Chains A and B, each alone.
Chain A
Amino acid sequence: MATANKEQIEERMTEALVSFGAEKDQIKRDANWESLDVDSLDLVELAQIVEEEYGVKMKEEDMKEMKTVGDAVDFVAERAGS
């Protein structure tokens, strides 16, 4: 399991979101999911990536609290022990 700093996590999440079809130049810390056309199915996939790569579980109730890219990056960074 990789240890990673916030920048690396943000970079990995950006890469994942682009692969989901989000526009790269719109992916910013304060961008919310709707503006990126990211829905609940995308978030489940994002959670799978995060768990596999950082060993961090993002549960459904956690995801409900995450409104933006920054929220998700911070959540993972706090728990990934970086």
Chain B
Amino acid sequence: MTRRVAITGIGAVTPLGVGADALIERWSAGESGIEDGFGRCREFDPEEHLSIKAARRADRFTQLSLVACGEALSQAGWDDEPPVDPGRTGCVMGTGIGGIGTIEDQLDVLRERGAEAVSALAVPMMMANAASGVVAMRHGLKGQCYGTVSACAAGAHALGAGVRMVQHGDADACVAGGAEAGLTPLAQAAFANMGAISPSGVSRPFDARRDGFVMGEAAAALVLESEESARERGAEVLGYVTGYGATADAHHLTAPEPSGDGASRAIELALADAEVGPDGVDWVNAHGTSTTLNDASETEALKRALGERAGEIPVSSLKSAIGHTFGAAGAVEAAATALALRRGVAPPTVGWEERDESCDLDYVPGEARALEGNGRPLCAISNSFGFGGHNAVLCMEAA
């Protein structure tokens, strides 16, 4: 018997603003946080949120994590006194690369000023597990704590790990999510040279005109807690994570398996875990990157996993509004899914206009659409896929 996993806190720092409210309000209104071809967290000033010491010892991906996790934990009731035994509270944060800004800066120092000038803080800042470690230190979380690394599926894998931890009683609560701050010269050049970045600088998931993704940065986290623990302490339940499924394509370094096999198996596993059939799915928060290959193969995967129902379920991509936030994406999208289910809306795929032969589902063009649960709580899946062939899918339910 596994335990039901409630969401008791949601936090996010995204190109749409600082805070989970900015994310859902602005996405639901069809706004975009992309400017000049990048989804930058322009409103995020680390000095407004962190002490000098905390800020200078953290790479930007950890700074974003501290603020997103701080918001989620504060909402869940972690203020002066932790409401759950710290030894039974975990922390898992995913990232694609970790502190790439620090790596690039310190490589300049090494080349320009020599080995002796390299900062003693370089390792603790660039390590991919820094976000989880620093968040645990800040809030005194003493249960399981680690990072997940699976490119653009890392945030979803982190949440999946947190879900299992709570379901199986290894922890009573876990703050889990993802972060990425990779708008650096090396990452930009590398993604551009592999042909993944949109030359037009427009993120248009599932649209016939799509030409690649727009790079973004963000962090988001959910406080996952056993329903029992949340009820006992009177915490507000914001939603549930009811299922998790993860697979590998074992196909190609960067290209998704064209038939969508790996992705569809992950969707099926998540639905089976949640004990929900295709009829029980009201909305899909897609991975939808705006690349030719992903959006076509994801569409195939949805049709394989959901059958005839696929054509009736609204499918939205948050990346239309914030770009691709890599290791943060799965967490930002899970946060947005929980928030959208609470409001009972499917926010739009911003800017979607032209149907593509290979993308023939309902991508919620124009404006947000009200969701009907037909007498039961609304249910959605949130898809995340990463270079390397990683697939992770979460199934979520409204409170």
Contacts and interface: CB of A to CB of B under 8 A. Distances in A.
Interface in B97-135: 116-117, 119-121, 124
Given A19-B56, A20-B56, A48 B120 contact: yes
A41 B120 contact: yes
B106 to A, nearest CB: 12
A51 B52 CA distance: 24
Interface string A7-24: 000000000000111000
A52 B53 CA distance: 22
A65 B98 CA distance: 36
B193 interface: no
A41 B121 contact: yes
B51 interface: yes
A45 B121 contact: yes
A45 B120 contact: yes
B109 to A, nearest CB: 10
A44 interface: yes
Contacts of A19: 52, 56
Interface residues of A, number: 10
Nearest to B123: A41
B107 to A, nearest CB: 17
Contacts of B56: 19-21
Contacts of A45: 119-121
Contacts of B54: 21
Interface string A40-53: 01001100100110
A37 B53 CA distance: 9
B398 to A, nearest CB: 43
Interface string B48-87: 0001111011000000000000000000000000000000
Nearest to A46: B120
Nearest to A45: B120
Contact of B51 (A21, A44, A48, A51): A21
Interface string B23-66: 00000000000000000000000000001111011000000000
B53 A41 contact: no
Nearest to A22: B53
Contacts of B120: 41, 44-45, 48
B124 A41 contact: yes
B52 A52 contact: no
Contacts of B52: 19-21
Counting chain A CB atoms within 10 Å of each CB, the highest count among B54, B120, B124 belongs to B120
Contacts of B57: 41
A48 B117 contact: yes
Contacts of A51: 116
Contacts of A48: 116-117, 119-120
B159 to A, nearest CB: 31
A32 B44 CA distance: 34
A52 B117 contact: yes
A24 B57 CA distance: 19
A31 to B, nearest CB: 16
A41 B124 CA distance: 10
A19 B51 CA distance: 11
A62 B158 CA distance: 43
A54 to B, nearest CB: 14
Contacts of B51: 21
Given A48-B116, A51-B116, A21 B53 contact: yes
A20 B53 CA distance: 6
Contacts of B119: 45, 48
B103 to A, nearest CB: 18
Interface of A: 19-21, 37, 41, 44-45, 48, 51-52
Interface of B: 51-54, 56-57, 116-117, 119-121, 124
Given A37-B53, A41-B57, 10 more contacts: A19-B56, A21-B51, A41-B120, A41-B121, A41-B124, A45-B120, A48-B116, A48-B117, A48-B120, A51-B116
Shortest beta-carbon contacts, A-B, top 4: A21-B53, A44-B120, A21-B52, A41-B120
12 contacts: A19-B56, A20-B53, A21-B51, A21-B56, A41-B120, A41-B121, A44-B120, A45-B120, A48-B116, A48-B119, A51-B116, A52-B117
